Each structure stands twice: as structure tokens, then as C-alpha cells.
Amino acid sequence: MATFWRPGIQQARVDQCPAPSARAAFSAHATAGYVAAQAARVAAGARAAEITSAGSTSNVLAATRASPSQVFPAGPVTATPCAGPVLPVRQFQPMHMVTEWHRPQPRPHLTEAEVKHRIEIGCSPNYHGDPDLRANRSANIPDEDNCSFWITNLPPDVTYTEFLSHIREIGRVFALSMTPSNATTGHETSAAKLVFFELRAAQLFWNRFPKYYSDGLVIRGYRAIIRRNRTKFAEITTLRDATRVVTVSGPASIVNLSTLTKYFQARFYYETDDVINIVEGQTFSVIEYRFSSYRAQAESAYRSITTDANMIANGVKIKYSWDPCDIPKENQFVEQFVQQIEDGVAMGGSESGAVTNPWGLIPSQAEGTDIGGSGAAMNPWR
């Protein structure tokens, strides 16, 4: 059985293949996948440039939204991904943000009355959503119990993946939204709103970066300015197992990057930290989506699949997985990886498929973590 690890980009580990012929076949498979992914990225860029020259701003938005982190994640993908049907929505209706996302017109400015109403109820005066939803109002809690932060002075082109990579070993991320730089409004750097599930995580984050100009959170030379968000957010105690990360498993004709991306994009707006092919088989696949937020993203993905009659009938399953921003538990990487491999073997899908280790464990760091191995796995975060 062939495995992957991720020391920056996924690389093929061919030494576990049973025979030279198998090693050669697997190496060719991985190389073809990498070449295909690179070609797809180039094609997406050329397409965006073509649309730009044609003067269609809305199409450029649609093209660029789908390509960088959602459709072409880092690492090898299958050269010819399985083409499955885009299943229709049956019970779960897409959120309104999906239709807003595809509108070419800019958002209208809020009126003075709308701004005043938002301030009165403890909602951000710049928020364009429904201010009367309880989840959008400021919680009546002390400042020290606030789990929400407003972070400014980030690099102008900072990405979700880059930002999230700097807040490891803290806690589960409930929501993250990025506000890009805008020279026309005088904002030359980016900003982010970060919300944690747990107060423990929020306190750890605040203590790790205690100053406005923090020496701890520096991204490409930009020292982040961290403040508690004025729209307060209380700790969530009812969602112990929920995270921003979901693992989808099922038939390869449905559980593949192309089909799932179209399926999710038709139902809700989202940003990804990473998308990882954990098991790529001819009949069975497992894909992990690391969304930027649990709220309205991972939860929408979970609800979409668990309430879709077609998905259920075809044996597609989804579950929440460990958030890499959380503090890892002992041996959880090995247990989770083994369970995913066993799921693939039970479905007969990993006979000729590739298996990926999404947690970055390389052989020198994780002695005994391979399937069939024994011994305690090292925790790479310590």
C-alpha cells in the first residue's frame, strides 16, 4: 500500500510498494497527477486573463473564487478525476450568501438608520447581513469572556492558509473572515475577524499575543495588531465535536474533488485552508475539507450531505475531523489515520489507490505510525 506525507507538498512514498513494477506504476501515477494539477492551475489563470480582456468582471470573480485554494489544493491529484453527477438539492436549501456572491453589483451602502440600528443592538455597523439574528448580536458578557478578535496590519495578500498556519496549538476555530486591503479606502493592509469555540482557546490566544503590536504574530514582516472584537462572542459549550474540518467518504464517482467542489459551491459560499485526498481508490475515496470556518461553511457541508437523500442512498458519509489549530491529543493522528484506511479497505477502494497522511507526519517523526506498525507515535506539534 502506498502512502503520502506532506513536508510542504505531498510527495510519493514508494518504498512501501510491494514490487518494483508497483513502485514504477505508483511513481508514474503521482507524477501524472502533479503535472495535471499544474496544468490545471495554468489553464485557470489563462481563463481568468481571457475573461479579463473581454471585460467581464463578474465572470472573473467567479473564476478566481473557485480556482486558487478550492479546486487545486497543494499536492498530487488524480490526472483524470472521477466524473460524478452533480446531485440536486433535496432538503437543505443554500444560504443567501451564495446568490449574493455571484451578483455583479456592489453592495449598497447602509443608511444612517440601518447603521444606528446595528449599533443599538450591539452589531457591527458595517455588517450587511441580518442584524436581528441572535448570532450576529454582541453577547452581554465581560471583555475577558469574549472569544472574538479583530486583527489588523496583516499582509495585503495574506491567505486563509497562511494566516491559519500561524495560530496552531490554540483551539478550534469557529469562524474566520478576511478583509483584503483596499487602497481606494486607505486600507493598505488586510484584516481578519477570528472567533474561537472555547474561552480557553481565546484566553490562550490573547495571552500568547498580549500586546496591540505583538512580536508573536508576525506574518512576512507585518506585526499584527490584535484587539478584542467589539461585537462580543460567548463561548459555545454545546458543540463539543464540531470543527471547521470535515471528512467525506464514499464512492469515488461522487467523492472526488471535482464533484464535491461543484456540490458545495452550489449550496454555500466558502473558503478553504486546504483540501486533502486521503484515500484515492478506483471505487472508494476519502477527502478532507479544511474550511476557514465552522459557521456557515463546515456546518453547511455537514448538513447538506446528511440531509440529501441521494447522497445517503449512494453511501456518502461525512463527519467532523480534528482542527489543526486545536491542541492535539495523544495518538489521535494514528487512530484517525488507521480508521480512514480501514474504511477504505472495507469498501475495497484502496486496492489500487493512493493514501495520504494529512497531518504532516513523515517517517522520521512518526516511527510506528504506518499501517501494520507498532509503537507509540511521536507528536509532531511538541
Cell numbers that stand for 116 in this block: 444606528
pLDDT tens string 224-277 = 999 999 989 999 999 999 999 999 999 999 999 999 999 999 999 999 999 999
Residue in this structure with the C-alpha cell 507528536, named with its chain if needed: 379
Per-residue model confidence (pLDDT) at position 232: 93
- Domains observed in the chain: 3-93+241-356 (no CATH), 138-228 (3.30.70.330)
Q: Rounded mean pLDDT of the chain?
A: 70
Q: CA angle, corner 100, sides to 94 and 101, nearest 5?
A: 90
Per-residue model confidence (pLDDT) at position 107: 53
Per-residue model confidence (pLDDT) at position 324: 96
Per-residue model confidence (pLDDT) at position 57: 36
- DSSP assignment of 252-287 equals TTTSSHHHHHHHHHTT----EEEEEEEEE-SSEEEE
- pLDDT, tens digit only, all 382 positions of the chain: 333 333 333 333 333 333 444 444 444 444 454 445 455 554 555 554 454 444 443 343 333 333 333 433 444 333 333 344 444 444 444 444 443 444 334 456 778 777 666 555 555 555 555 666 655 566 788 899 999 999 999 999 999 999 999 999 999 999 999 999 988 888 899 999 999 999 999 999 999 886 555 567 999 999 999 999 998 999 999 999 999 999 999 999 999 999 999 999 999 999 999 999 999 989 999 999 999 999 999 999 999 999 999 999 999 999 999 999 999 876 666 666 666 566 555 544 444 455 555 544 443 343 333 333 333 333 333 3
Distance CA 32, CA 38 (A): 10
Per-residue model confidence (pLDDT) at position 19: 43
Distance CA 19, CA 14 (A): 10
Per-residue model confidence (pLDDT) at position 293: 97
Pairing outcome for strands 148-154 and 354-356: unpaired
What are the residues whose beta carbons fall under 8 Å from the beta carbon of 379, sequence distance 6 or more?
A: 328, 330, 333
